[in-house]
Chain A
Amino acid sequence: MSTRLDAGGSRIDRAKPLTFSFNGKRLKGYEGDTLASALLANGQTLVGRSFKYHRPRGIVASGPEEPNALFNIGEGGTFEPNARATTTPLRGGLTVRSQNHWPSLEFDVGAINARLSRFLPAGFYYKMFIHPRSFWKHVYEPFIRQSAGLGQAPVDRDANRYEHAYAHTDVLVIGGGLSGLHAAHLAASAGADVMLLERETALGGRSVVDLASLDGGSPAAWVSQTAQSLASLANVTVKTATVASGLYDHGYVLADEALTSPQGLRSRLWRIRAKTVIVATGAIERPLSFAGNDRPGVMLASAVRDYLAGYGVSVGDRTVLVTNNDDGYRTALALVDAGLSVPAIIDARPEGGGSLADAAREKGIRIETGCGIAKVKGSKHVEGVAICRQAGEGAIVDDIACDCVAMSGGWSPAVHLWSHCGEKLVWNEQSVAFEPDPASSPTGADGTPNVFAAGLTVGSAEDCVSSASEAARAACGAIGLEIPRLVAPAVPVETAAPILAVWTMPQGAGPDLREKMWLDFQNDVKVSDVQLAAQEGFESVEHTKRYTTLGMATDQGKLSNINGLAILSKELDKPIPQVGTTTFRPPYQPLTMGSIGGEARGPLFQPVRQTPMHDWHDANGVVWEPVGHWRRPYAYPGKGETVEEAVAREVTTVRSGVGLLDASTLGKLIVKGPDAGTFLDLIYTNMMSTLKVGRCRYGLMCSENGFLMDDGVVARLSEDTFLCHTTSGGADRIHAHLEEWLQTEWWDLKVWVVNATEQYAQIAVVGPKAREILETLGGLDVSREALPFMGWMDGSLAGLPVRVFRISFSGELSYEIAVPAGLGRALWDRLLEAGEGHDIAPYGTEALHIMRAEKGFIMIGDETDGTVTPQDLGLHWAISKKKEDFIGKRGQMRSHMTAEDRWRLVGLETVDGQVLPDGAYAIGEGETENGQRRMIGRVTSTYMSPTLERGIAMGLVEHGPERMGEILDFPTTDGEIIQAKIVDPVFYDPEGERQDV
């Protein structure tokens, strides 16, 4: 069993004990522990059940490649599923629960799947769950949903906070091991701004565990000294506990920094723009594929020595080391040095190893060369191994009792980030690994290389240092800097024997053994599954991945990728480089949704645009309507009033007395210049250059295809200045539209445009008593003679500087008053005060919509949807026949745009007075060529009219205006048919007498 040793553990502070709970048991650890090291220190080698077969699983690794040790941690608002024990720092009081088992970790009913494993091969789901068809929805999907996924979904709202941060740097170094530290140090000495990211909480990487010495002293001393020297430099930022998760085009890097802050900030997502990037992400050890390699107690050799050196934890008393390379020997040496037993080193290579093997032999460790593990004994924990010849089929030559198996299948450089931009890799036959192709690297905006690899190779410490020097030199060179002195730390020299490519152990293993050799621990993919996929015709590594689910879990195949494709390559009789790897994509490690969202949650989820009267609305019982990012009052229900009742009251108030509308959200574009009239004649379908100063005109804008895209009232402010009102949602879009035409097509026109939307608050005073209200305020002659319908004037109302437009969207006497935004609230308050005796009341957008529909006024977005022309809406009068050109003119000449069977605007009056459903379709005779019922029209706006006391609607109908008086059938979704008569769209005051008084 695993335990904590009396001594050792460079990362833990034994003076600071912590307690935590695991499946309800109280366990102890130390500050500096990871959750994984703390569990091992407490003898907890069984940590979970596998995904598919529910096999007992233990900790395999010590870093982000860990596939098994995933837990539900925390409670309530800080609950988190699938927390990886090897990358989760231990916190005092942490609640930890294991996943994917029922009823308990020790006894799991789902383990029956393991007995059925021969019936659950690769592609089982695809083969099984398609018959019969109807079972998918009602049987299979609910079942799969219940059994899929390892952790539980959080129930409570996340109590943590998150933030983003943007950084810019000359040189970004990813990885704070020997290569990264060295490269950062050199780049800093060249005067570059340097940012160094290290995913662990401490710098140094493998060097502090694996190297005997560094620069003449202990590796830890060198790391500490280098870290201090970097920290003292103003041009260097070092971020530990920060995982680079993606490297994108042109030096854009995402990195997630884990935080424990008193403010509850849990992580910070860095968005980094680097001129150059040095990728020094090290390498990941590969497992070996032997039968039972997933038993708790079988661990990567590097992880065994990491737990020993970093945390003073022994994984077992007696450890058998199985390896195909020299590096694995380090574990045996470290264990023996710590006083633990290594009964044997099983080296698959017939010739054995180099200088590290000699050292092991000197310590009296038994070494079996040319051998492998035939199988692992024990079910919930390793009890021993059966030894065989690697060259054979698995005949047992010896049994060795042990409680830990340390395996080393060689190393794979962590090329993930390097490859995120799509860079190619080359297969190195000598080191049996994919490495960055020196001939290709990601490039910056200027097309020259901007990402450089440091130590992304399987080699000696010396190789790492020299490649880091070269990367630093190249990165600095790319930005015109030179490293003054290329110093490098001295590293110990080792003579290593070559690695042997071992993809199954033994190489001739039969089906029984291959069925027990795990490739992907997390998704339960075995050697036999990949072989089956190949036999069934899967040749592409990408297809095989998806068919077998190899490498598709939260570890994204960090352990299984190379082993899996090597099996596939063997099965297909194709060399490994020809089979290739699957695509490396961000994120390198899973990111939480919280981290991606950053601060954008709660009130900051989306900006809400507020008018100057927002607070008043809010305090007066408003029901809001989102309009773009704006919040507009929909209605103001009073005490005991429903929203519908409030809307009806508001309409009646305006039609019979006076109402107040916050119209501040309307777009207000100021267009000025000697060519402003010419420009607007091109932008609008109607003529604007003839508009007189002091007058207003309603105008339409079309897209270049001829479809109606915005409308509004234009006021001519002076000979060369126009104020163009746009729809509330259209202000920014139309501003951009005007700028684009001015900048790209009509750059010779002398016109300036400014978006003054937010400079003004705008209040509509509407209703038969509107004039009285304004007269009460005083300061301006607003009589019919002084300010006629469709006129505007500047002046002062109640002492406030205003611009008053006599325009009406309701059909009533109406003044729209613009005032500098800072005075909007003052004007609003004064209008309410002045109207007190007249029962003035504010009204919202729904009353506005009903009143415009009663008048047959169209609304952009209701009557239009990007496929409707002004002609469809009967707005021919607003399309100039005299103008040579305007945007959309050419489009409107196309045959289908002038076709007489286009759906055109009409009013719709239900026979029984009820309200038509919005969007309802009118059905015609016969069927379409698709065998569907033929449709001849649809409802675009529909309301209960309080004025007419019946349902009214507008709609687009085939030959509509020619069919006045006809009755159409509108089927509803519940099968009922509503009948409506085609009528004129102007339901109210067709002569327009009320607005022009």
Chain B
Amino acid sequence: MSDHRTALGGCQASGLVEISEAEARGMIAIRADLDNADLKRSLDAVVGAGVPAPGQVSDRARGQICWMSPDELLLMLPKAACDETLTRLRDDLVGQHALVEDMSDARAVFVLEGDHCRDVLAKISPADVRASVLSPGVIRRTRMGQVPAAFWLTREARAEVICFRSVARYVFDLLDAASSGPPLRMERPAAK
């Protein structure tokens, strides 16, 4: 669909880290009882992973399942597979009390790459981003500056940030500003 646009059309910036707006991806919001066996089965069939533990992302080649709250998941997958997956999940959960909704266009996704990912995140989010706490596979729903956002590390030195589409410009500028200053641990103590 060449008509489709991401919020910022693939903006990029370079500083402490490389920042880029990711290409459009499929995002499906699921609200359900996370212990629901049909849900687990269906997710396993679609992504190859079950319901992640609280605060975790199940990262598979076919997609990622993010734990958003005790009754909400966010499934991310290639845009091309979105419609089919949406139908599949809805079919699998017919008769169950579950909400499966396409939210692919509701958010913007930014990718941060570089050694100072944690520094950039720590400048604009109150979340604890120490390596001992934010390891790859952990998702933090938090705020960035004055808006809600979430992020996780796909691996060391690579983070993904999601925010609502309407504030994509604000979040991008915020990331860029944080990335334009010196790193946090630059200074070393000097003795008298």
Contacts and interface: CB of A to CB of B under 8 A. Distances in A.
Interface of A: 10-11, 161, 163-168, 176, 193, 196, 198, 201-204, 208, 220, 223-224, 227-228, 230-231, 237-241, 259, 261, 263, 265, 268, 271, 273, 310, 599-600, 603-604, 606-612, 629-630, 670, 672-674, 750, 752-754, 756-760, 799-800, 820-823, 825-826
Contacts, number: 174
A822 B166 contact: no
Contacts of A265: 181-182
Given A203-B189, A230-B189, A821 B126 contact: no
A695 B168 CA distance: 34
A220 B101 contact: no
Contacts of A757: 106
Nearest to A239: B187
B191 A604 contact: no
Contact of B5 (A161, A273, A611, A612): A612
Contacts of B146: 600, 606-607
B169 interface: yes
Contacts of A240: 187, 189-190
Contact of B188 (A220, A231, A261, A603): A231
Contact of B24 (A261, A750, A758, A822): A822
Nearest to B97: A750
B115 interface: no
Most chain B CB within 10 A, of A168, A224, A240, A630, is at: A168
B interface bracket (residues with beta carbon within 8 Å of A): 35 or more
B3 interface: yes
Interface string B7-29: 10000000000000000100001
Contacts of B71: 752
Interface in B154-173: 164-170, 173
Nearest to A261: B182
Interface string B132-168: 1100000000000111000000000000000011111
21 contacts: A163-B123, A165-B122, A165-B123, A176-B189, A193-B132, A203-B190, A227-B191, A239-B187, A241-B187, A263-B181, A265-B181, A265-B182, A603-B173, A607-B146, A609-B164, A610-B167, A756-B103, A758-B166, A759-B102, A823-B105, A825-B5
B128 interface: yes
Contacts of B128: 168, 273
A166 B124 CA distance: 8
Given A263-B180, A674-B97, A758-B165, A823 B123 contact: no
Given A608-B170, A821-B105, A599 B165 contact: no
B191 A203 contact: yes
B23 to A, nearest CB: 11
A758 B178 contact: no
A166 B127 contact: yes
Given A271-B126, A606-B146, A259 B189 contact: no
B174 interface: yes
B100 to A, nearest CB: 9
B4 A823 contact: yes
Given A607-B147, A752-B98, A758-B106, A259 B182 contact: yes
A823 B1 contact: yes
A767 to B, nearest CB: 25
Nearest to A196: B189
B125 interface: yes
B182 A754 contact: no
B122 A166 contact: yes
Most chain A CB within 10 A, of B99, B170, B173, is at: B99
Contact of A604 (B130, B166, B174): B174
Closest 9 CB pairs of A and B: A224-B191, A826-B3, A609-B166, A752-B99, A821-B105, A238-B189, A752-B31, A607-B170, A759-B106
B37 interface: no
B177 A163 contact: yes
A164 B178 CA distance: 9
B192 A204 contact: yes
A752 B103 contact: no
B6 interface: yes
A731 to B, nearest CB: 11
B192 A609 contact: no
A204 B190 CA distance: 10
B184 interface: yes
Contacts of A753: 31
Contacts of B99: 670, 672-673, 752, 754
Contacts of A224: 191-192
A752 B97 contact: yes
A670 B101 contact: yes
Nearest to A224: B191
Contact of B190 (A201, A310, A760): A201
A238 B188 CA distance: 7
